[in-house]
Structure formats: C-alpha cells, structure tokens
Structure 1
C-alpha cells in the first residue's frame, strides 16, 4: 500500500509539472504572438523597433547618416505621437491627437532637441523633390476622382456657396473684433484675415507676402513674419474646434444611449497590384510636373492648377475607368500610411514654435478667433439648405482656415471626417485661390 501511495503521489507530481510546463509553453507562444501582432499606428511593433534602432544608428554615425536620420525621424516620431495621442483619453475623446503630432515636433525643433543635420537634410530633400507638394497632389487627385462624376458640377457649386458664406462671416466677425480692439481695419484685413484664408503657406501666404512687398516696398521676409502667426493660429483654432465637434458628438450619443454606429458597409476592395499602383504613381508625377510648370508660367498656385486639371479629367472621363480606380487605391494607401509622418514634417519644418506662441499671445488673436468662430457658425447655418448635416457644414467651413493640404488633413482627422476629403480639398483650394486673387489684386491697386 505504501508503495502504491508513493507511486500515485509521484504520478500526480509529474502530471502537475507537465501541466505547468505546457501552460508556460503556451503562455510563451501567446506572448510571442501578441508581440508580433502589436502595432504602433499601422506599423507592426517588431518593424517599428527595427526602425527605432536604425534611427539610433543614423544619429550616432559621425557622418553619412543625415539623410537616413531625416527620413526615419518623421516615421518613428509621427506614428509614436499618434499612438500616444490615441492612448490619452482626454486628447482622444476631443479629437486632438492630431494636435500632438503637429505641436510636439514644432516645440522639439525650437529647443534643438531634434538632430539638426537630419532635419537640414530632410528640408533639402523636400525642397529638391517637392515631396510635400506631390503628396498634396495625390490627395487632390484621389479625392476628386472619388467624387461621382455626374454630381461633380453641382457639388462644386454647393461647396463654393458654403465657402463664400463662411468667408463673408469670417470677414464680418474678424473686422468687428478689430474695431473693438481699435486696430486699423486695412491692416487687419490684409495681414490677418486674407492670409489665414489664402489656402496655406506655399500656395497663399508666400505669394501674398511677395505681392505686399512689391506694393509697399517692404522686405518680403518681414511681411511674411507678420503674416505667419495669424495663419498658424487660425489653423490650430480650426483644428481644436473640429476636435470639439467629434467630442460633442460622442458625448451626445452616450447621453442618448445610442450605441456606437457601425462603420458603413465597404464596397468590395478593388484589386490593384503593384504594377498598377506604380503606373498610377507615374501618372500622378506627370500631373504634378505639368501643374508645377503651368504654375510657374501663370503665377497661379500649383495645387489649384492640379485641382482644375483633375476636375477636367473627371468631368471628361476619357476612358479612365481603371486608371481612376488605381489613383483612388494609391490615394487611400498614402492617406493611411503617410498622414502622420507628413503631419510630423509639417510641425517640424513648417510650423515655427516662436511664431505660434506669438500668434497666441498677441492682441491679434482676437480677430483670428472671431473669424474662425464666424466660419463655424456660418457652416452650421447654411448646412441644411445645402443638404449637409450641421457638423459636416461646420467642419467644411473650418477648412477655409486650413494651412493647405496638410492643414485640411489635420482638421478632418481631428473631427474623424476623412470621408469629407474630396469636398474639403475643393473648399480649401478654390476658396484660397479666390482669396489670394482678390488680395493680390488689392495689392496691385496700391502699386498703381
């Protein structure tokens, strides 16, 4: 009996040990699978760690790693900040995770915390290749090609009516605030309100500062420095309001007890292989080159030329069925994979922190805030007659204050309305071009 009991106990001990070893092995496999499935943004965690290691090596190299550092920094930083913002409840619920991707690199650049050689190399590469401009061309082409051809003329007329109404409200509210502060109305109109609605930095503020410099005989760099705070502050205020709309919508749904709405059913994915994506990429490069050439000859902003060319292609529809689908597929891939790196670049290179702080600390902030608030109110007021929801009308009206294509993406992303990209690009580009033309005509009249 004693031997049997000892044998039984030994068997139970071996069974427990075997079960423990099996559970540990299963846990180890589960951890490895969880690690492989984990992501930072859309980047798998193992690949992201490899990119971080490559960035560390590029920074540590005494020479020769500047370009690699400049290319890796927006990818590593952009997705890390996007992931961080999505995990901070206050930012996530208010839709302000995009603000984090813009402001942190701007502040880091101002403190010289970013590798200077890498940022200089990246800026030179972007200036040489116009990569950000090409990204905006991809956004414009993909978004316009996504609009139904039959509804494009009516859609453009509807959106231009919204842009005109929002612009008028912004001018009235901004000028009223300037009168309240006792600021010169012409100065407020020319250096605050017109630049913030001119369609961005490269397409609006820079050519506007050149026109002002020719008209007034002042240095162009000085005028640009006076224009920039209003431009940045307006874009950021529009971004905050757009995030607030997303927050209020979710809060209202929770109070009403409405369950989260399921995403709309997706159309069957269009099968687009690497070859067709490469062909679409080459076609968009040709479009960007043609638009840039016409821009240099005519003096019109390049993104506006690209928008008009794509709209003509879409209206004409000359047997571009499959190529159009290829462009849309490439646009969706770029929007998913490049949005946060591009926003990081916009914050790091094109959003000076000192100008941003100056814009928010000066007395000129009140006219900017009043103008952006007027846009929002106008968008809500005219939304229903135009067949839009109030929230969609507000967000589209706010894109009048966007800093070009990246600003439009940031506003739509903060409001969780990337589906409005086609309409927003039309509002930003055409509205900005009309504002720029009127302001430059006014500057030209001063020269005469």
Structure 2
C-alpha cells in the first residue's frame, strides 16, 4: 500500500484544514501572544517551504535545499509585506526576547556533544581537530588577504565571510555567530546575519561542486585518495555507535533541564570572563563528556532531547531566522563580484589547508579535504549528505559529523577569542 503524502508527519486531510485555520487567524489578527501564537504558524510554514526546497532542482542539489528556501522565502514575506505586521512582531519577539533561538542552540550544543561516542570525541580532538584547524587557518587568512587586496577589508572578509562559511551552517553557525558579533560590536544581529546568510548559502553550493571535482581528481591521481578510507591506518574507535534505545517522555524532560542549565551556567561565567555564553557552554559540555563526569543515562537523555528538537523544530527555527534575522534588502545589497570571489577563496582555502595538514597526520588528501574541509564549509547535516553524495563517499559520514559538531563548536570558540584580539 502506497504511503499517503504528509507534511510535518500530518496527512493532507488534516494538514490543509490546520493551515487554513492558521492563515485565517493570522490575517484576522486573532493569534495569541508568545509561543502559542508563534509556534504553529512557524512549524506549518516551515514544513511547506522545506518540502518545496527539497524538491526544487538545482536548489536541492547545490544550494542546501529546504533550509535556504525557508529562510529566504520567510524573509521575502516580510520584505514584500505579505505577512501582517502583528505576526512579524510576534515571531521576532518569540525568537529574541522570549529566547527560542537560545533554547534551540542549548539543545543542539549539549545534546550533540554529549551524544557523541566518547572515544570519537577524544580521537577527534587529538587527531582530527588539527586538520580542521589547518583548513580554517588557511581559509581565514587567505580570504582576509584577498579581501584586503580587493578593498573589502581584511577583518571584514574574515568575520563576515570566512568564519560564517566555516562555522557549521545556519542554526549552529551563522545565527550564534551573529549573536556573538552583535554583542561585541554593539550591532543588531539582524544586520550582521544579512551579510552572513548569502555567504553560507554560496559556500555550501561551492562545497558540493568542489566535492565532485575532488572525486574526479582522485580518479585521475589514485595516490591521493583512499577511495572512501580517511586514515592510512584506520582505527575502529573512530566509528560512532548510534543509540537506538527506546524513548520515554521523562527522558525528554531531563534533557530540557540539563541543556538549559548548561546554557545558564555559560551566562553566569560571562559575568567574570569576557567570552560569549555559547563558548562557555561548549567548553563546559566538552569537559563533562571527555572526563566522564555524567552518567551515560543522562547523556542519552540530552541526545534524545536534541534529536527531538532538531526533528520537530528546525524548520520552525529557520522561519524565525528568515523573519527576525534576515533583511532581504541587505542581502541583495551585499552581492557583488568581490563577495563571490571571497566566498570561493574561503572554500578553496579550506580544501588546501586540510589537504596539507591531513597529509602530515596520515590522512589521504582527498578524503581529508572532503571531510575536514568541505564538510566544515557546507551547511551542517544537509550539507554533509550533499557533499558526500557528490564525492561518492557516504561512508565518511562519521567524520563529516565531527566537522559539523566539533568543528562548528570550535568556530564559535575561535570567534569569541579572535573578536577580542582583532576588534
């Protein structure tokens, strides 16, 4: 029997009436304030736009699919005054003053790190992280130099183009980076995100193209590739073991408490140390994981809460990012030949840096560049799938996940430190 078409897990005979009710309520101005008013519309709109993005040729293959469509169409609804002002205000308050963004990021960071295999995390820090650092260093410095030559500015090129591209996508990269920059520069995150979002989207597209080219390069020069094998001396401890244990409602509640407490701890520490709360949270969670300070049961609860949030609320979050943080006018103004050159420089720099350092630590150059380079420059999970598919190396997904999780967290830490040194 053919499965019925669904959006957000809901059959059309229910989804369509739900959508009609929400649209009527929105245009009549009868939405309640806060989470109750913002959540349903953001989730339904996100589900529709995500489906469209994931089915649209070129966009689904090279531009990140659903996430990009959700962000830019949501921003366009605001730009062209399609969405009522009251609903726009409701979503903006939900994302900012009511801290839905922070809530999501807390679940993402705490759950993803605590949910990793401990050996994988330690091995990544000792062996894989230097390769990531090599890629980031070359990408950032090369982009800064080219930016200075092209009169875009050394610092502007680094902070507004290179770092967002290498930061791990939208939800875990550009968005928290805009918060960090905003706090340090006394600017609105909206203004900063408008410059970062196009860079992340274009970087993702170029990373996918480069993955296909590296695959062709490996076919021409077999000595450069392990044909899907990363290490010249492979280690089974680098394989992440997925936890398929059943889920209970109580475990989700435990995940909420622990993840939000880590975020609050980060806020407390910032009273004494001039580093962003996100960075403190990442350090604290990594220490707890590496030294085994938390029982596996509670780590599992956080991982399950993270997966629940990611599965159900990511599209809603991206709608909020489009409405509250993405100025379409600023995005249009930011495009220029110089901008495109700098995006290309960042991705190529990531490939060069990871290839060189990867060779030094015993990685095959092609596989090292794909996982530690291109999977840092793409848009997180969806970008990982697209890049590895283009390179015909899906077996490298555990390493791509290290780039998305640990690499993204590293970029937030690096940004917090650099912003105090360079600005």
CA distance in 2, matches of 1:293, 1:191: 30
The count of residues paired between Structure 1 and Structure 2 equals 383
Q: Which residue does the alignment assign to 1:21?
A: none
Structure with bigger gyration radius: 1
Seen in structure 2, the aligned counterparts of structure 1 residues 62 and 86 have a Cα distance that, compared at 3 Å, is: closer
CA shift in 2, pair 1:285/1:435, >3 Å: closer
- Structure 1: how far apart are the matches of 2:414 and 2:246? 39
Contact 1:85 1:92 in 2 (8 A): yes
Of 74, 89, 96 in structure 1, the residue corresponding to residue 64 of structure 2 is 96
Shift in Å, 1:273: 0.9
Q: CA deviation at 1:113?
A: 1.5
Alignment pair present for 1:240 and 2:216: no
* Aligned counterpart, 1:429: 409
2 CA distance for matches of 1:85 and 1:115? 24
Which runs of 5 or more residues in structure 1 are unaligned? 1-29, 213-219, 253-263, 444-448
Q: Would you say 1:315 and 2:283 are equivalent positions?
A: no
The 5-angstrom pairing of residues 19-418 of structure 1 reads 37-65=4-32, 67=34, 68-94=36-62, 96-98=64-66, 99-178=68-147, 180-181=149-150, 183=151, 188-196=153-161, 197=163, 200=173, 203-205=176-178, 207-208=180-181, 211=184, 220-221=186-187, 225=191, 230-244=195-209, 269-318=244-293, 320-361=295-336, 363-380=338-355, 382-383=357-358, 385=361, 387=363, 390=366, 393-394=369-370, 396-398=372-374, 408-409=380-381, 411-412=383-384, 415=387
Q: What's the CA shift for 1:92?
A: 3.3
Other structure's SS at 1:142 match: helix
- Contact 2:207 2:347 (8 Å CA) reproduced: no
Q: CA shift at 1:393, angstroms?
A: 4.0
Which residue of the partner structure matches residue 235 of structure 2?
none
SS at 1:334 equivalent: helix
For the 8 Å contact 1:203–1:301, the answer to whether it is kept is: no
Higher normalized helix content (fraction of residues): 1
Query: In the alignment, is the contact (CA less than 8 A) between 1:74 and 1:344 conserved in 2?
Result: yes
d(CA) in 1 for partners of 2:364, 2:319: 31
SS at match of 2:270: helix
Shift of 1:430: 1.8
Hey, what's the Cα distance between the residues in 2 that align with 1:251 and 1:102?
33
Question: What is the CA deviation profile of residues 142-184 of structure 1, one whole-angstrom value per residue up to 9, with x for unaligned ones?
Answer: 2212322234233123343133212232234324533553x2x
**2:347 & 2:195 partners in 1: Cα distance?**
11
2-structure distance, mates of 1:54, 1:166:
49
Match of residue 16 from structure 1: none
Counterpart CA distance in 2 for 1:327 and 1:232 is 29
Distance of 2:8 and 2:385 partners within structure 1: 14
> In the alignment, is the contact (CA less than 8 A) between 2:50 and 2:69 conserved in 1?
yes
Please give the per-residue CA displacement for 1:103-150, whole angstroms capped at 9, x wherever unaligned. Answer: 221222221222321121122122233221221121112221232223
Q: Quickly say closer, same or farther: Cα 1:280–1:211, change in 2 above 3 A.
A: closer
Does the 8 A contact of 1:381 with 1:390 survive in 2?
A: no
Shift of 1:318: 3.4
State the shift of 1:270 in Å. 0.5
C-alpha contact 2:194 2:327 (8 A) present in aligned 1: no
Distance 1:430 1:93, change over 3 A: closer
2:226 corresponds in structure 1 to: none
**Structure-2 separation of matches of 1:75 and 1:117:** 18
